[in-house]
Amino acid sequence: MKQKAYAAAGVDIDLGNKVKATLPQLLARTHRREVLGKVGGFGGLFALDVKKYREPILVSSVDGVGTKLKIAFMMDKHDTIGADLVNHCVNDIAVLGAEPLFFLDYLGTGKLQPHVFTEIITGFARACAENNCALIGGETAQMPGFYQAGEYDVSGTIVGVVEKSRMLNGQKTIQRGDVVIGFASSGLHTNGYSLGRKIFFEQLGYQPKDKIPGLKKSIGAELLNEHISYGPLVQKLLKKFNQGGVAASRKSAASKRSVRRSADAPLRAFAHITGGGFVDNLPRVLPKTLDVVIKKGSWDMLPIFRIITEKSGVPDEELYQVFNMGIGMVAIVAADKADGVLKFINAYRLRSSSAKDGQKHKAWIVGEVVKGQGEARVV
């Protein structure tokens, strides 16, 4: 049978349709009752149950996974990339107190490779299911000549919801003397890979499958560790520790009174430690009159960050602005509730099929809020 002209030009529509035919089965585990229609329509449909909320606020975010993709290409391992993207987006809206509703993905590639497509979508679906988030649509674009052979790019958009009275706003609630609790990361997550690749593969001369003393896996496998989702944990924390403040604020008719009472809730704010590290992410939730001081050595640094610190030659000041350095999320908490919050986090099990059986979150008190001008300092 003669090859179609478009396929000869590099875009195989028939192959794309064949691969996409597996989507309903892959996405079935992400279904929520609010999802309408079927996969493959011109738009994803989601019927928000407004009866559950007094004043629902939709929260959205869009992101990619950056040059971590280069590691996936090197290792020819793609199932974790989809989960990375979902979990990153979940964390971005979790800091506002939002729970995820649905997710949409974009995949662009030069030539569609069925096994790569299936691995990526499987990662999307797995992470969406673990975060109770519906995967309701996406786009796969074949663009020959645009990407290097064997390469692709992915991005994702998430939409979540939060009750207006429960929405976190650290700029109004953070107080001097509050404590900063850091949640352990699994590694670089999805940021700092351009520098990380330069350090390990150019400066130190390692190959992706090399074993490095101090690491349990090859450096390539270590760099592919999944970005942890803190979303389910954040929701549990808010339900347990902020419920009193939330209830009070919901009953308040006056907005000023609502803000004042919500400020009494012990969980003041969360910050996702992504690109920019502590230095650039914490100021996003701080009042202009307060600083956060992060104390080095107050948490157990992952081996990969110890290697970077000891062998890269990059000053600490820059490392703590590029990498998460082992802390993927922070919570700013009223000092008198910090021990209880810390105990709760350390008892909470990771909700990921990539985590070891029984593996729990780890967290430490890593800093404090002091008088200042809206900055974060690492000392």
pLDDT in tens, 136-149: 988 889 899 899 99
Residues 349 and 232: their CA atoms lie apart, in Å, by: 10
- What is the amino acid identity at position 309? T
Residues 342 and 338: their CA atoms lie apart, in Å, by: 6
Look at residue 244 in the predicted model and tell me its pLDDT: 54
Q: Considering the chain, what is the average pLDDT of its residues?
A: 89
At residue 312's C-alpha, the angle toward residues 311 and 316, to 5°, is: 105
Fold of 5-166: 60s Ribosomal Protein L30; Chain: A; (3.30.1330)
Look at residue 255 in the predicted model and tell me its pLDDT: 46
Look at residue 327 in the predicted model and tell me its pLDDT: 98
Residues 250 and 254: their CA atoms lie apart, in Å, by: 10
HSE (side-chain half, CA atoms, 13 Å) at 33: 1
Burial category of 8 from C-beta neighbours within 10 Å (exposed 0-12, middle 13-18, buried 19 and up): exposed
- Cβ 237 vs Cβ 345: under 8 Å: yes
Residues 178 and 268: their CA atoms lie apart, in Å, by: 9
Confidence of residue 31 (pLDDT cuts 50, 70, 90): confident
Look at residue 349 in the predicted model and tell me its pLDDT: 82
- Cβ 324 vs Cβ 273: under 8 Å: yes
Nearest CA among 72, 85, 308 for reference residue 195:
308
At residue 302's C-alpha, the angle toward residues 296 and 308, to 5°, is: 80
Nearest CA among 60, 55, 90 for reference residue 270:
90
Residue 41 clears pLDDT 80, i.e. is over it: no
pLDDT digits (tens, 9 = 90+) for 294-347: 999 999 999 999 999 999 999 999 999 999 999 999 999 999 999 999 999 999
pLDDT digits (tens, 9 = 90+) for 216-235: 999 999 999 999 999 999 99
Q: DSSP states of 320-357 as a string?
A: HHHS-TTEEEEEEE-GGGHHHHHHHHHHPBP--TTSPT
CATH superfamily of 170-378: PurM-like C-terminal domain (3.90.650.10)
- Mean pLDDT for 58-81 is 96
Token pair in block for residue 73: 């290409």
Look at residue 245 in the predicted model and tell me its pLDDT: 41
Token pair in block for residue 83: 């989960």
Residue 193 clears pLDDT 80, i.e. is over it: yes
| For the ranges 26-30, 240-244, 314-318, the one whose mean pLDDT is highest | 314-318
H or E element in which residue 118 lies: helix 114-130
Look at residue 291 in the predicted model and tell me its pLDDT: 98
Same fold, 5-166 and 170-378: no
Helix axes 243-251, 255-262, angle to 10 degrees: 170
Of 113-117, 165-169, 251-255, 277-281, least confident by mean pLDDT is 251-255
Domain assignments of the chain as residue spans, ordered by start: 5-166, 170-378
Confidence of residue 16 (pLDDT cuts 50, 70, 90): low
Judged by DSSP in three states, 162 sits in strand
Look at residue 42 in the predicted model and tell me its pLDDT: 83
- Cβ 143 vs Cβ 43: under 8 Å: no
**C-beta contacts of 1-9 below 8 A and 24+ residues apart:** 9/144
Look at residue 358 in the predicted model and tell me its pLDDT: 58
Residue 83 clears pLDDT 90, i.e. is over it: yes
Residue 352 clears pLDDT 70, i.e. is over it: no
Look at residue 43 in the predicted model and tell me its pLDDT: 86
pTM summary value:
0.90
